[in-house]
Amino acid sequence: MRLSFERFDLQLRHVFRIARGASTVDPVVIVRLEHDGVVGLGEAAPSRRYGESIDTVGKFLKAIDASRFEDPFQVESILSSVDAMAPGNRAAKASVDIALHDWVGKRLGVPLYRLWGLDARKTPITSFTIGIDTPEVVERKVREAEEYSILKVKLGGENDEEMMKVIRRATKKALRVDANEGWKTRETAVEKIKWLEQEGVEFVEQPMPASDLAGTAWVRERVNLPLIADENCLRLADIPPLRGAFDGINIKLMKCTGVREAVAMIQTARACGLKAMAGCMIETSVGISAAAQFSPMLDYADLDGNLLISNDPFEGVLVQGGRLVLPDRPGLGVRPRSSSD
Ligand code: MG
């Protein structure tokens, strides 16, 4: 096998602001895995929150000696060996996992969802994310999100009440709220969630800092809205301790090392009585299409990372009427974006 990679700078349609910072350009790494004349595509979208950067991804990928893997169908042993190279580096590991799965699907000539026995008609509706911003910008973003029936609102900043007021003035749509660990005390979290119960909110993601799981359990006993773990749920082994504090998990390929572990996480969440959701970073259609392939197994999807950028070099999963539409093409179903778009 041959592995190559390059940096690609994603241009954001709007400044994207969440509780811990803001950005206008987001670099990712696109991976190509070649064997037997077939090229699998992968992507790493590193996040500082999890200690990764373009540099750490490059360093990790460079250290992989892909030539010692002779059979890309041996997904289990290849990915176990890549995972064992170093702790962390989960987005870097995900890029190899995604490229390998794409390769297998392309080599066999089937989309991954078919390989897993899933029904492409059962994809979920995806939410569309509205970042923290001034009232004018928030109002414009809500108007632009017309096609989406569910909006995900980023709170946990200074102006939660103002954000909600502007959004509720603009739309009556179902809302999901992501606090990104922004509410620092239990009392604040309970107060905010009780307020959101009155605002037509479906669930709240990561209300409290990940370091305070006991605090989240305390909050959960006092509120009615379901709580979904994001920063508290990186990999498979994180799931069992979440019982009692959360009602569901948000799986992201860039947190969990890729598709192989993501599918195991969905099954484990079910076994633990937790709902399964998939989210994303700001990514091209490579990363988003990879997660979309297993989306028929999910309760909730927040796979809009490619919709927030203006220079996606690829096309894959589409959104029609808010619903994810899986392409009938092998592997991830991703191809270079045609110039007519
Ligand atoms: Mg989140």
Count Cβ atoms below 10 Å from residue 194 Cβ, excluding itself. 13
Ligand 1 mean position, distance from CA 207 (Å): 10
Distance CA 158, CA 162 (A): 9
Q: What global pTM score does this model have?
A: 0.95
CA of 241 to the centre of ligand 1 (A): 19
pLDDT tens-digit series, residues 22-46: 778 899 999 999 999 999 999 999 9
Distance 178 CA to ligand 1 centre (A): 6
pLDDT, tens only, 220-246: 999 999 999 999 999 999 999 999 999
**b/e map of 240-271 (b: 16 or more CB within 10 Å)?**
eebeebbbbbbbbbbbbbbbbbbbebbebbee
Tokens of 1: 């096998």
- Start-to-end CA distance of the chain, whole Å, equals 33
- Report CA(200)–ligand 1 centroid distance (Å): 19
Q: 282 CA distance to ligand 1 centroid (A)?
A: 12
Cα–Cα dist 219/206, whole Å: 11
Sheet containing strand 38-44, edge to edge, reads: 2-18, 21-35, 38-44
Reported as a single tens digit per residue, the pLDDT across 185-196 is: 999 999 999 999
Cα 77 to ligand 1 centre (Å): 31
User: How far, in Å, CA of 319 to CA of 36, rounded?
Assistant: 33
pLDDT tens per residue, range 291-300: 999 999 999 9
Q: Cα of 83 to ligand 1 centre, how many Å? A: 24
CA of 110 to the centre of ligand 1 (A): 32
Q: Which domains does the chain have, with CATH numbers?
A: 2-109 (3.30.390.10), 115-336 (3.20.20.120)
Distance 339 CA to ligand 1 centre (A): 33
